[in-house]
Structure 1
């Protein structure tokens, strides 16, 4: 899998895990009436493939929104996410939405497009016709994350917004603060430890901190750093309770990534062949270690 495809899948997982928050951020006006009792269900891809080709499903996420008291008719949100704006096609989106509308037998469809990178102007309206008449008019809700001011969402209670702070517009000098606010949002807004672990990787991928920026983060935000260390300690305890060496290896690797960033190949080789006793020794020492080299060598 290419890096771009991997990033696209990470973003798709985020929307599937937090569909309500995603709609509140990317389709705010349409989402105003989506309260806690409203049911949001991803449309199963295998059902759609009966008539639509695989090429439609690389980036698109259909979500069916239903009101149990039927105060509103069901809405189908079609979300397309693009990492590279050069791959964006309004015509392709229109083609897909029309097919999906026919397949699901509904005209209540909200097309939503999310662009991760680039701030160049992209069309959000398509009109087909002549000088006499417009025969087809198609509009989308478009969000270009790189154009959203990160400063507007630093303290947002919307977890999707907080996790996407690194993708929003911010000065390079604010990169560490933006990363810290994203991590703070993850720890305070998501109580599930497994999801915390999952989306630490998400923030790390899109923040792409340098080693110096990571050290700066540890120095400027010791409280958040302790929270991450606490999560690491909980993960280590979980691994010990399992009593499995592979669990210890997985936990130690995650601890190192949380504190130092990307795990070098040489370190992965050493950890993968270590004894249980050595793994436990390293897991205890990581909280005070100044570098990967100091910990493992």
Structure 2
């Protein structure tokens, strides 16, 4: 049975990996401008509790933006991804933002809500009576499910290109939208590990069927071959990591059975070992009288 998709984690990774482009796409009115010298730091997601019985108030990704030249005061962006608009609660978001403001002693907080599906709930929210309003709260909305993909097909913003499959598009253009997302990743990201990571992001949200994938391969053979190579490398790396983990677990069991609890220096050494090292040490266990002789045989 396939594991459910963790949309929160997917978007958290995306925003942490590409903070400047994320803010430029999700919150263009408040984001740093091109050329601004800024420092963007993800801050802890779980804010301090005033009482141990309270639940942690959790944000997807709070980002602290600091202008190095001091032209603007620092801003906290409270970014929340909401898959189903019906589950979104502006009251909960008020709590999040108030916690951030209190924790970081600032009133410069920008709430940003990313709606993955159509039907975004827009603000403002007002609390009060027929006589007057006592609380007014608004937030920026990035309504992916309502955005026309056609407007972003040639964007130079990588975060926008990766999210093309989440945008609104006619059913007969799904392959073209997918192709533009892949082309954007290949053109705008040179890091091979990031490419492998975010080709999976595109695949998850595009959800092409077998026929659509066949059409894509026929129309875009060059990009399709590059993707095939990336998937093959990812599979091989996964198999290698699985083999390393298996050898490490086996050796740890052997060492504990013979020598008892392992010192931290041994744990660290095992964690950084190759398959060849682990296999060699495993052969040494039988003849070793001390744990040191496992790693340094006579």
TM-score range, shorter chain: 0.7 to 0.9
From 240, 244, 249, the counterpart of 1:246: 240
Q: Point out where structure 1 has 5 or more consecutive residues left out of the alignment.
A: 251-297
Shift in alpha-carbon separation, 1:51–1:18, aligned structure 2, 3 A = farther
Where does residue 108 of structure 1 map in the other structure?
Answer: 108
What is the rounded CA distance, in whole Å, between the counterparts of 2:231 and 2:64 in structure 1?
37
Secondary structure (helix, strand or coil) at the match of 2:41 reads: strand
Q: Structure 2 matches for 1:78-97, cutoff 5 A?
A: 78-97=78-97
Structure 1 CA distance for aligned equivalents of residues 243 and 189 of structure 2 = 25
Aligned to 1:174: 173
1:30 partnered with 2:30 = yes
Structure-to-structure mapping, 1:129-140, within 5 angstroms: 129-140=128-139
The SS at the match of 1:95 is: helix
Q: Any idea what the Cα deviations from partners look like across 1:96-153, whole Å, max 9, x if unmatched? A: 11122111110000000001012x2523111122233322111100111011010011
Distance 1:249 1:232 in 2: 18
1:217-256 alignment runs, 5 A limit: 217-231=216-230, 235=233, 246=240
Q: How many residues align?
A: 241
Judging changes above 3 Å, is the alpha-carbon distance between structure 1 residues 181 and 51 closer, same or farther for their aligned structure 2 residues? farther
For 2:18 and 2:177, locate their aligned partners in 1 and report how far apart those are by CA, in whole Å: 21
Question: What SS does the aligned partner of 1:39 have?
Answer: strand
Task: Measure the CA separation in 2 of the matches of 1:81 and 1:232.
Answer: 28
Retained in 1: the 8 A contact 2:115–2:144? yes
TM alignment of 1:50-129, pairs within 5 A = 51=50, 55-57=56-58, 59-118=59-118, 120=119, 122-129=121-128
SS at 1:40 equivalent: strand
Q: Partner of 1:196: helix, strand, or coil? A: helix
Whole-angstrom CA distance in 2 between matches of 1:105 and 1:92? 20
Hey, which of these two has a bigger chunk of helix by percent? 1
Contact 2:48 2:103 in 1 (8 A): no
Q: Deviations over 1:13-43 (max 9, x none)?
A: 1011111111111111111536452000001
TM-score after normalising by structure 1: 0.74
* 1:179-219 residue CA offsets vs partner (Å, 9 max, x unmatched): 11111111111111001111111011001111111111101
- Secondary structure of the residue that 1:33 maps to in structure 2? coil
Shift of residue 51 of structure 1?
A: 4.7
The CA RMSD measured in Å over matched residues stands at 2.6
Provide the C-alpha distance between the structure 1 equivalents of 2:11 and 2:26, rounded to a whole number of angstroms: 13
1:79 aligns to what SS in structure 2?
strand
Question: Which of these two proteins has the greater Rg computed from alpha carbons?
Answer: 2
Q: For 2:149 and 2:200, how far apart are their aligned partners in 1?
A: 19
- Indicate the residue corresponding to 1:253 in structure 2: none
The Cα of 1:55 is off from its aligned counterpart by 4.6
Distance 1:154 1:208 in 2: 18
Are the counterparts in 2 of residues 90 and 123 from structure 1 also a CA contact under 8 Å? no
Q: How far is 1:247 from its partner?
A: 5.6
1: CA distance, partners of 2:121 / 2:93: 13
5+ long unaligned stretches in structure 2: 245-298
Q: Which residue of 2 aligns with 1:255?
A: none
Name the residue aligned to 1:39: 39
Q: CA deviation at 1:50?
A: 5.1
TM-score normalised by length of structure 2 = 0.74
Question: Residues of 1 paired with 2:95 and 2:229: CA distance?
Answer: 49
